[in-house]
Amino acid sequence: MIVAVDGPTASGKGTIAKALAAHYGLPHLDTGLLYRAVGRQVVLDGGNPDDPDDAAKACAFPESLLEDPILRSEETGGLASRVSVHPRVRAALLERQRAFAAQPGGAVLDGRDIGTVIAPDAEVKLFVIASVEARAQRRYLEMRKRGEDTTLAAIEADLAARDERDRNRAQAPLKPAEDAILIDTSDLDREQAIAFAISETDRKIASA
């Protein structure tokens, strides 16, 4: 069984995907981490994330980079959004993601184009959303807990900018698959969001 979990930054898709993977005993891939690694590698190379050549070169990042905590930072998240608009970057990471999805027994993948591009034949497709205000508040609390200095207004502006880039990029724009189940986590806590996602996944499996 392949479960595709898509949605914008800080919507809760990663939390839901990890919980689904644990619940159903499936391997999980945070595909956004791959793009974060490319964005980080561009910086390490002294390149420009908006330059398609620099971004394409950075796709050869070492596997060890995926373990670097800095990939979870807001700055690296912004870099990921910038490098993801380049067709060559998406092409370079495409087969890697598809191979993960196609492994025996299935998998859970979360990202922005899993249900539309990476695994369009996934048995379950979830599209997780939340208001910009709710997402900014969550990210603000996460960053404060890590000791990062920021403001709620700055985070809201950054999320809005990322959404705009992700929705309007020419290749694999952020949008729900036609058969995706929409989950709005704006007013749900972690446990409620996970429980709802599991119930919707069970319902989808039962009706297949």
Q: For 128, phi and psi rounded to 5 degrees? A: -100, 125
pLDDT single digits (tens) 28-50: 999 999 999 999 999 999 999 99
Helical (H) or strand (E) element with 196? helix 190-207
- The torsion region of residue 188 among left (phi > 0), alpha (psi -120 to 50) and beta comes to beta
pLDDT single digits (tens) 87-115: 999 999 998 999 999 999 999 999 999 99
**DSSP category for residue 182:** E
pTM of the predicted model, to two decimals? 0.87
- Percentage, residues of the chain above pLDDT 90: 86
Domains detected in the chain:
2-207 (3.40.50.300)
CA distance 208 to 36: 35
